[in-house]
Amino acid sequence: MVTHGARTAYLGPAGSWTHQAALDLFGAAGLVPLTRDELFAAYAAGTVERACVPVATSIVGMTPYIDAVLDLPQVTVIAEYPRMLGYSLLARPGTRQQEITEVFAHPVALAEARPWLDRVMPQARRTEAASGGDAARRVALGATLDKASVGPRIGASIYGLVSLVDGIEEGPHNVTRWWVLGRETPAPSGRDKTSLLAAAADEELAGLLARFGEVGVQILTIYERPSGRSLDTHRYLIEAAGHAGEPRLRRLLDRHRDMRVLGSYPRAY
Protein backbone atom coordinates (compact mmCIF):
# COMPACT_ATOMS: atom_id res chain seq x y z
CA MET A 1 0.00 0.00 0.00
CA VAL A 2 1.29 3.45 -0.90
CA THR A 3 2.31 5.45 2.16
CA HIS A 4 0.95 8.98 2.47
CA GLY A 5 3.17 11.88 3.46
CA ALA A 6 6.36 10.81 1.65
CA ARG A 7 7.84 13.07 -1.01
CA THR A 8 6.03 12.60 -4.31
CA ALA A 9 7.20 14.43 -7.41
CA TYR A 10 4.74 15.40 -10.11
CA LEU A 11 5.07 17.24 -13.39
CA GLY A 12 4.60 20.90 -12.57
CA PRO A 13 3.70 23.62 -12.41
CA ALA A 14 1.03 23.40 -9.75
CA GLY A 15 -2.54 23.52 -11.00
CA SER A 16 -2.14 20.87 -13.69
CA TRP A 17 -4.17 17.69 -14.01
CA THR A 18 -1.10 15.76 -12.87
CA HIS A 19 -1.12 17.90 -9.72
CA GLN A 20 -4.78 16.98 -9.26
CA ALA A 21 -3.98 13.29 -9.79
CA ALA A 22 -1.24 13.45 -7.15
CA LEU A 23 -3.65 15.15 -4.74
CA ASP A 24 -6.26 12.46 -5.41
CA LEU A 25 -3.75 9.72 -4.69
CA PHE A 26 -1.65 11.12 -1.85
CA GLY A 27 -3.16 14.32 -0.47
CA ALA A 28 -1.28 17.61 -0.31
CA ALA A 29 1.51 16.63 2.10
CA GLY A 30 4.91 16.04 0.53
CA LEU A 31 4.02 16.89 -3.07
CA VAL A 32 6.84 18.41 -5.12
CA PRO A 33 6.22 20.06 -8.54
CA LEU A 34 9.15 19.52 -10.91
CA THR A 35 9.93 20.03 -14.56
CA ARG A 36 10.20 16.96 -16.78
CA ASP A 37 14.00 16.77 -16.55
CA GLU A 38 14.01 17.47 -12.81
CA LEU A 39 11.39 14.81 -12.14
CA PHE A 40 13.15 11.98 -13.93
CA ALA A 41 16.55 12.99 -12.52
CA ALA A 42 15.14 13.09 -8.98
CA TYR A 43 13.49 9.69 -9.34
CA ALA A 44 16.66 8.13 -10.82
CA ALA A 45 18.78 9.63 -8.03
CA GLY A 46 16.39 8.47 -5.31
CA THR A 47 15.80 11.98 -3.94
CA VAL A 48 12.04 11.49 -4.23
CA GLU A 49 10.23 8.35 -3.19
CA ARG A 50 7.60 8.45 -5.91
CA ALA A 51 6.88 10.19 -9.19
CA CYS A 52 3.47 10.73 -10.81
CA VAL A 53 3.62 10.76 -14.62
CA PRO A 54 0.87 10.87 -17.28
CA VAL A 55 1.59 8.04 -19.70
CA ALA A 56 -1.49 7.69 -21.93
CA THR A 57 -4.72 9.41 -22.88
CA SER A 58 -7.80 8.13 -24.66
CA ILE A 59 -7.46 10.90 -27.28
CA VAL A 60 -3.78 11.00 -28.25
CA GLY A 61 -2.52 7.62 -26.99
CA MET A 62 0.91 7.55 -25.37
CA THR A 63 2.17 10.84 -23.96
CA PRO A 64 5.60 12.36 -24.67
CA TYR A 65 6.71 11.23 -21.20
CA ILE A 66 6.52 7.49 -21.79
CA ASP A 67 9.91 7.25 -23.51
CA ALA A 68 11.58 9.03 -20.58
CA VAL A 69 10.09 6.37 -18.27
CA LEU A 70 11.28 3.55 -20.52
CA ASP A 71 14.77 5.07 -20.67
CA LEU A 72 15.22 5.02 -16.90
CA PRO A 73 17.88 2.44 -15.92
CA GLN A 74 15.72 1.26 -13.02
CA VAL A 75 11.98 1.80 -12.71
CA THR A 76 9.16 0.24 -10.71
CA VAL A 77 5.59 1.13 -11.63
CA ILE A 78 3.59 0.64 -8.43
CA ALA A 79 0.16 1.98 -9.42
CA GLU A 80 -1.96 3.31 -12.26
CA TYR A 81 -4.64 5.98 -11.98
CA PRO A 82 -7.18 6.69 -14.73
CA ARG A 83 -9.44 9.75 -14.58
CA MET A 84 -11.82 11.47 -16.99
CA LEU A 85 -10.86 15.13 -17.22
CA GLY A 86 -13.20 18.07 -16.84
CA TYR A 87 -12.50 21.73 -17.53
CA SER A 88 -13.32 25.16 -16.17
CA LEU A 89 -12.89 28.64 -17.65
CA LEU A 90 -10.61 30.48 -15.20
CA ALA A 91 -9.87 34.20 -15.09
CA ARG A 92 -8.71 36.95 -12.77
CA PRO A 93 -11.37 38.39 -10.46
CA GLY A 94 -13.30 41.13 -12.21
CA THR A 95 -12.94 39.61 -15.67
CA ARG A 96 -16.12 39.63 -17.73
CA GLN A 97 -16.59 36.62 -19.98
CA GLN A 98 -17.79 38.66 -22.95
CA GLU A 99 -14.59 40.77 -22.85
CA ILE A 100 -12.11 37.85 -22.99
CA THR A 101 -9.88 38.10 -26.05
CA GLU A 102 -7.46 35.19 -25.46
CA VAL A 103 -7.77 31.73 -23.90
CA PHE A 104 -4.75 29.66 -22.81
CA ALA A 105 -4.98 25.88 -22.56
CA HIS A 106 -3.19 22.60 -23.13
CA PRO A 107 -3.89 21.29 -26.68
CA VAL A 108 -6.01 18.40 -25.35
CA ALA A 109 -8.06 20.83 -23.26
CA LEU A 110 -8.57 23.04 -26.30
CA ALA A 111 -9.85 20.02 -28.25
CA GLU A 112 -12.33 19.10 -25.54
CA ALA A 113 -13.54 22.68 -25.04
CA ARG A 114 -13.60 23.61 -28.73
CA PRO A 115 -17.36 23.08 -29.26
CA TRP A 116 -18.15 25.26 -26.25
CA LEU A 117 -15.60 27.91 -27.22
CA ASP A 118 -16.86 27.95 -30.81
CA ARG A 119 -20.40 28.52 -29.64
CA VAL A 120 -19.91 30.85 -26.68
CA MET A 121 -16.57 32.62 -27.26
CA PRO A 122 -15.82 32.47 -31.00
CA GLN A 123 -14.01 35.82 -30.84
CA ALA A 124 -11.35 34.69 -28.35
CA ARG A 125 -7.90 33.74 -29.66
CA ARG A 126 -6.73 30.31 -28.48
CA THR A 127 -3.14 29.90 -27.34
CA GLU A 128 -1.55 26.56 -26.45
CA ALA A 129 0.10 26.12 -23.05
CA ALA A 130 2.28 23.34 -21.64
CA SER A 131 -0.35 22.33 -19.07
CA GLY A 132 -3.45 23.55 -17.29
CA GLY A 133 -1.24 24.89 -14.52
CA ASP A 134 0.92 26.79 -16.99
CA ALA A 135 -2.20 28.24 -18.62
CA ALA A 136 -3.62 29.43 -15.29
CA ARG A 137 -0.29 30.92 -14.25
CA ARG A 138 -0.02 32.90 -17.48
CA VAL A 139 -3.47 34.36 -16.88
CA ALA A 140 -2.60 35.24 -13.27
CA LEU A 141 0.57 37.04 -14.40
CA GLY A 142 -1.25 39.02 -17.08
CA ALA A 143 -1.62 42.77 -16.77
CA THR A 144 -5.16 42.96 -18.17
CA LEU A 145 -8.56 41.42 -17.47
CA ASP A 146 -9.14 40.03 -20.95
CA LYS A 147 -7.37 36.65 -20.58
CA ALA A 148 -8.67 33.27 -19.40
CA SER A 149 -7.47 29.69 -19.17
CA VAL A 150 -9.13 26.32 -19.66
CA GLY A 151 -8.05 23.71 -17.16
CA PRO A 152 -8.83 21.96 -13.88
CA ARG A 153 -10.63 24.08 -11.31
CA ILE A 154 -7.74 23.62 -8.86
CA GLY A 155 -5.86 26.28 -10.82
CA ALA A 156 -8.23 28.94 -9.47
CA SER A 157 -7.27 28.45 -5.83
CA ILE A 158 -3.56 28.17 -6.57
CA TYR A 159 -3.24 31.28 -8.77
CA GLY A 160 -5.90 33.53 -7.29
CA LEU A 161 -8.32 33.11 -10.17
CA VAL A 162 -12.06 32.50 -10.26
CA SER A 163 -14.03 29.99 -12.29
CA LEU A 164 -16.40 31.74 -14.67
CA VAL A 165 -17.90 28.49 -16.01
CA ASP A 166 -17.40 24.84 -15.00
CA GLY A 167 -17.91 21.73 -17.12
CA ILE A 168 -17.18 23.23 -20.51
CA GLU A 169 -15.81 19.96 -21.96
CA GLU A 170 -18.04 19.01 -24.90
CA GLY A 171 -15.56 17.50 -27.34
CA PRO A 172 -14.13 13.96 -27.27
CA HIS A 173 -13.98 13.23 -23.56
CA ASN A 174 -10.43 12.51 -22.51
CA VAL A 175 -9.46 9.87 -19.96
CA THR A 176 -5.85 10.21 -18.85
CA ARG A 177 -3.87 7.42 -17.22
CA TRP A 178 -1.05 8.15 -14.82
CA TRP A 179 1.67 5.83 -13.60
CA VAL A 180 3.08 6.12 -10.10
CA LEU A 181 6.76 5.24 -10.12
CA GLY A 182 7.97 3.92 -6.78
CA ARG A 183 10.49 1.57 -5.22
CA GLU A 184 8.82 -1.66 -4.07
CA THR A 185 6.53 -3.87 -6.17
CA PRO A 186 3.12 -4.31 -4.50
CA ALA A 187 2.13 -7.82 -3.50
CA PRO A 188 -0.40 -9.59 -5.73
CA SER A 189 -3.93 -8.25 -5.22
CA GLY A 190 -5.82 -10.86 -7.22
CA ARG A 191 -6.52 -8.43 -10.06
CA ASP A 192 -3.22 -7.09 -11.30
CA LYS A 193 -1.55 -5.76 -14.41
CA THR A 194 2.09 -6.17 -15.41
CA SER A 195 3.86 -3.73 -17.73
CA LEU A 196 6.69 -5.24 -19.74
CA LEU A 197 9.25 -3.82 -22.15
CA ALA A 198 10.46 -6.03 -24.99
CA ALA A 199 12.69 -5.34 -27.99
CA ALA A 200 11.98 -7.17 -31.25
CA ALA A 201 12.59 -6.95 -34.96
CA ASP A 202 9.58 -7.01 -37.29
CA GLU A 203 9.94 -10.71 -38.06
CA GLU A 204 10.24 -11.58 -34.35
CA LEU A 205 7.05 -9.93 -33.12
CA ALA A 206 4.58 -12.71 -34.00
CA GLY A 207 6.68 -15.31 -32.19
CA LEU A 208 7.06 -13.08 -29.16
CA LEU A 209 3.32 -12.52 -28.86
CA ALA A 210 2.61 -16.23 -29.37
CA ARG A 211 4.61 -17.01 -26.23
CA PHE A 212 2.02 -15.19 -24.13
CA GLY A 213 -0.75 -17.45 -25.42
CA GLU A 214 1.36 -20.57 -24.88
CA VAL A 215 1.61 -19.91 -21.14
CA GLY A 216 -1.96 -18.62 -20.83
CA VAL A 217 -1.15 -14.94 -20.21
CA GLN A 218 -3.69 -12.44 -21.55
CA ILE A 219 -2.26 -9.41 -23.37
CA LEU A 220 -4.23 -6.26 -22.53
CA THR A 221 -2.47 -3.57 -24.58
CA ILE A 222 0.57 -3.15 -26.81
CA TYR A 223 2.29 0.14 -27.61
CA GLU A 224 5.13 0.45 -30.12
CA ARG A 225 8.03 2.78 -29.41
CA PRO A 226 10.99 3.45 -31.71
CA SER A 227 14.17 1.53 -31.02
CA GLY A 228 16.46 4.37 -32.01
CA ARG A 229 18.47 1.93 -34.10
CA SER A 230 16.59 1.02 -37.29
CA LEU A 231 13.16 1.12 -38.91
CA ASP A 232 12.60 -2.63 -38.54
CA THR A 233 13.40 -2.88 -34.82
CA HIS A 234 11.13 -1.60 -32.09
CA ARG A 235 10.53 -1.44 -28.38
CA TYR A 236 7.14 -2.75 -27.29
CA LEU A 237 5.38 -1.81 -24.11
CA ILE A 238 3.26 -4.93 -23.51
CA GLU A 239 0.75 -4.93 -20.69
CA ALA A 240 -0.56 -8.25 -19.50
CA ALA A 241 -3.11 -9.46 -16.98
CA GLY A 242 -1.59 -10.85 -13.81
CA HIS A 243 1.33 -10.25 -11.46
CA ALA A 244 4.96 -10.94 -12.36
CA GLY A 245 5.28 -13.11 -9.28
CA GLU A 246 2.52 -15.49 -10.38
CA PRO A 247 3.39 -18.80 -12.09
CA ARG A 248 2.14 -18.06 -15.63
CA LEU A 249 3.99 -14.79 -16.00
CA ARG A 250 6.99 -16.25 -14.22
CA ARG A 251 7.21 -19.00 -16.85
CA LEU A 252 7.05 -16.41 -19.63
CA LEU A 253 9.77 -14.30 -18.05
CA ASP A 254 11.97 -17.35 -17.54
CA ARG A 255 11.78 -18.00 -21.30
CA HIS A 256 12.47 -14.35 -22.18
CA ARG A 257 15.07 -13.10 -19.74
CA ASP A 258 15.68 -10.05 -21.93
CA MET A 259 12.10 -8.90 -21.32
CA ARG A 260 12.08 -6.15 -18.72
CA VAL A 261 9.44 -5.93 -16.01
CA LEU A 262 8.49 -2.29 -15.49
CA GLY A 263 6.02 -3.08 -12.75
CA SER A 264 3.15 -5.18 -11.44
CA TYR A 265 0.35 -3.29 -9.72
CA PRO A 266 -3.41 -3.45 -9.05
CA ARG A 267 -5.40 -3.06 -12.25
CA ALA A 268 -7.51 0.10 -12.13
CA TYR A 269 -9.64 -0.46 -15.26
> What confidence tens digit (pLDDT) does each residue in 167-197 have?
999 877 889 999 999 999 999 999 999 999 9
pLDDT in tens, 80-98: 999 999 999 999 999 999 9
Indicate if 228 and 159 belong to the same structural domain.
Answer: no
What is the extent of the structural domain holding 135? 88-172
pLDDT at 3 over 70: no
Rounded CA-CA distance 108/105 in Å is 8
Indicate if 263 and 217 belong to the same structural domain.
Answer: yes
Q: Is residue 138 one of the residues assigned to a domain?
A: yes
Confidence of residue 64 (pLDDT cuts 50, 70, 90): confident
Q: Is the pTM of this model over 0.85?
A: yes
Q: Is residue 101 one of the residues assigned to a domain?
A: yes
Residue 205 sits in a domain of what CATH number?
A: 3.30.70.260
Confidence of residue 261 (pLDDT cuts 50, 70, 90): very high
pLDDT in tens, 198-242: 999 999 999 999 999 999 999 999 999 988 889 999 999 999 999
Which of 120, 146, 172 delimits the end of a domain? 172
Q: Is residue 98 one of the residues assigned to a domain?
A: yes
Confidence of residue 6 (pLDDT cuts 50, 70, 90): low
Burial, 131: exposed, middle or buried (Cβ in 10 Å; 0-12, 13-18, 19+)? buried
Indicate if 163 and 211 belong to the same structural domain.
Answer: no
Indicate if 151 and 199 belong to the same structural domain.
Answer: no
Q: Is residue 74 one of the residues assigned to a domain?
A: no
Q: Is residue 14 one of the residues assigned to a domain?
A: no
The pLDDT of 12-29, averaged and rounded, is: 94
Q: What is the pLDDT of residue 173?
A: 83
97 DSSP assignment: G
Indicate if 162 and 229 belong to the same structural domain.
Answer: no
Q: What is the pLDDT of residue 144?
A: 94
Indicate if 205 and 245 belong to the same structural domain.
Answer: yes
Indicate if 145 and 106 belong to the same structural domain.
Answer: yes
Q: Bridge-partner residues for 88, per DSSP? A: 151, 166
71 Cβ contact list (under 8 Å, min separation 6): none
Rounded CA-CA distance 73/169 in Å is 38
Q: Bridge-partner residues for 32, per DSSP? A: 9
Which of 172, 202, 226 delimits the end of a domain? 172
Which of 107, 141, 172 delimits the end of a domain? 172
Q: How many domains does the chain have?
A: 2
Q: What is the pLDDT of residue 2?
A: 40
Indicate if 97 and 133 belong to the same structural domain.
Answer: yes
Phi, psi torsion values for 90, nearest 5 degrees:
-110, 140
Indicate if 99 and 142 belong to the same structural domain.
Answer: yes
